Structure 1
Amino acid sequence: MCTSIIFSPADHYFGRNLDLEISFGQQVVITPRKYEFKFKNMPSLKNHNAIVGIAMVADGYPLYFDASNEKGLGMAGLNYNGNAHYFPVTDEDKDNIASFEFIPWILGQCGTVAEAKNLLSRINITNLNFKPEMQASPLHWLLADKTGASVVIESDADGLHVYDNPVGVLTNNPKFPLQLFNLNNYSNVSSAEPKNGFSKDVDFNLYSREMGSRDLPGGADSASRFVRATFNKFNAPVSDDNNKNIDTYFHILHSVEQQKGVDQVGPGKFEYTIYSSGTNLDTSDFYYTTYENKRINHIDIHKEDLTASDLITFPMLDQVTINDQN
């Protein structure tokens, strides 16, 4: 499964964990402004916002898992199996966009969540595949901008829903309103030591530190990760130092990462956190870590030619690195 957040200590950091049992040969991909995005049922975008994120490149086309643009708008698609519903192409007054085209369609044209909402009001997410052998993934999306605003987009059987997201977190099932409602069950969780609300006549021994967070769920399931990521995000320290904030951002994501061997999804198959990504939406600096390489890797998109027409790709550094200090 997956977890996505926007963390706003000073600048705004947006990205996600990608949790799967297999890798797709994904890369860091910069799509410059003059790369021609072609769509199944809509006119091409020949000039658009520059985009950076993690994608699998197929037939020269960047299939983005998550990305942000130079205007400070970010978007991530997360597994939404069993609920996601895509529709046939319609002749009604709608923009017919396939799910794999959704991220470039929005990020290519919009700079804020407010602008994206206008586009979303016309969108019909279609049930088309990139190729016959590449089935469309069942997804929902977190969309956020450098004001800190975020929304969740879910295409269900009863239509497209756009939910304002007051916590800036998304995982997987159930539907977003239920995930948000479930937070009510954890109102007693605290970063402070608990007070005795049981009875004034009963003495309690706080036998350990961190007792205030004892009821925080620790599972790898999506509901548990949603609660834990939200709690950790809102209790994370903030700094005036960008490096410290980006480090904290990755600590939040890593607090809900999945270890190999603990989440079996089939015979001999285990889901794990393949990578964690993040963009500073205020500067467009892109960062990532991988399962094997926890060093924070940085790509400055402004060092590249953003006026070009060809994709710019970087292999993900996924080898274990150990610093020998003596």
Structure 2
Amino acid sequence: MCTAASFNSKSHYFGRNLDLEFSYNETVVITPRNYTLPFRKEENIDTHYAIIGMAFVVENYPLYYDATNEKGLSMAGLNFPEAKYYEINKENDNITPFEFIPWILGQAENIKEAKKLIENINLVNINFSEQLPLSPLHWMISDKNESIVIECMEDGMKIYDNPLGVMTNSPSFDKQLFNLNNYRHLSRKTPDNTFSEKIELDTYSRGMGAIGLPGDLSSMSRFVKVAFTHENVLENDDEIKSVNQFFHILESVYQQKGCCEVAPGKYEYTIYSSCVNTDKGIYYYKTYDNSSINAVKMHNYDLESNELAVYPLIEEQEINFQN
């Protein structure tokens, strides 16, 4: 399970939590403009927008989990068990789900251009390899002005406008939005007593406006909690404070090892959290064992190159002793 968010503060920021019970040894990867993007059923793209994101590199191919291109368009794939992929249709662009992120980010500058590409896409049921079958996913795509969600269902591909700029997992995005109706009473402010005029009820604690906000790890509860946090946190005019605030949004739905058992002795947890300044192409990240913020700058690499740049994650925590 996972959580993604898009947030405007000093700049535009995009990122996600990756929640799984195991890691693929993912790395931060820059795909420069002249790295050839191969596609199984469509022509290769030799020149495209540069991309930075978190990926599992296999056979020199970046399997992106989340990424941002040099124009500021961002995209993340999250687990979605209801996903249905399709057979080849010669009338469409037949793109496999693991090619979806580079197909969009390599060519689209913003959501408007992404929608035009998506209108002709057929996400086909082709595995990367026998050892790496497709994962059931849905995707959030964002620029600084808007976000959309893409879901492939039994009855076809759905494109949802995402007014909140957050996403988790199941159920489908339209049902997640509808579920927020059950929490319309939540507030950052202290609530009035509407229980009864006959009894005086005490405000015995701060934060009582958020009583009823879910705190469990299920995807629907995480959607409510991250949406409430996202809509109520304060914006900042400082880069470091903005990045910290974005990570605090994601931290509201962190998963700790031991709290979500998915198989005997196996526990889902937040493997990494990311935050990209999409205006500057800076990819910030934290890992479960290293809460320090680390960063890779896209524009510090030769974006005219034809070779991937791969940066292993810094997993070891550093402690800043003050005495």
TM-score by length of 1: 0.98
Q: Which amino acid aligns with 2:266?
A: K
Equivalent position of 1:90 in the other structure = 89
Establish whether residue 236 from structure 1 lines up as the match of residue 236 from structure 2: no
Offset, 1:319: 1.2
CA distance in 2: counterparts of 1:321 and 1:204, whole angstroms: 48
| Alpha-carbon contact 2:176-2:220 (below 8 Å) kept | yes
Offset, 1:202: 1.2
Offset, 1:24: 0.3
CA distance in 1: counterparts of 2:316 and 2:258, whole angstroms: 19
* One of 129, 132, 138 as aligned partner of 2:127: 129
Q: Could you say what secondary structure the match of 2:106 adopts?
A: helix
Cα shift readout 1:37-70 (whole Å, capped 9, x = no counterpart):
1000000010000000000000010000000000
What does residue range 151-170 of structure 1 map to in structure 2 within 5 Å? 151-170=148-167
TM-score by length of 2: 0.99
CA distance in 1: counterparts of 2:192 and 2:239, whole angstroms: 35
CA distance in 2: counterparts of 1:201 and 1:8, whole angstroms: 45
Offset, 1:10: 3.4
5+ long unaligned stretches in structure 1: none
| Alpha-carbon contact 2:88-2:94 (below 8 Å) kept | yes
* Stretch of structure 1 that moved more, 191-200 or 57-66: 191-200
Equivalent position of 1:145 in the other structure = 143
| Alpha-carbon contact 2:292-2:317 (below 8 Å) kept | no
5+ long unaligned stretches in structure 2: none
Establish whether residue 317 from structure 1 lines up as the match of residue 314 from structure 2: yes
* One of 114, 118, 121 as aligned partner of 1:120: 118
Offset, 1:9: 2.1
Establish whether residue 40 from structure 1 lines up as the match of residue 37 from structure 2: no
* One of 277, 285, 300 as aligned partner of 1:280: 277
Equivalent position of 1:308 in the other structure = 305
Identity %: 50
Q: Which amino acid aligns with 2:73?
A: L
CA distance in 1: counterparts of 2:293 and 2:231, whole angstroms: 22
Coordinate RMSD, CA, aligned: 0.8
* One of 250, 255, 258 as aligned partner of 2:255: 258
Q: Could you say what secondary structure the match of 2:190 adopts?
A: coil
Query: Between Structure 1 and Structure 2, how many residues are aligned?
Result: 323
* Stretch of structure 1 that moved more, 200-209 or 156-165: 200-209
Q: Could you say what secondary structure the match of 2:105 adopts?
A: helix
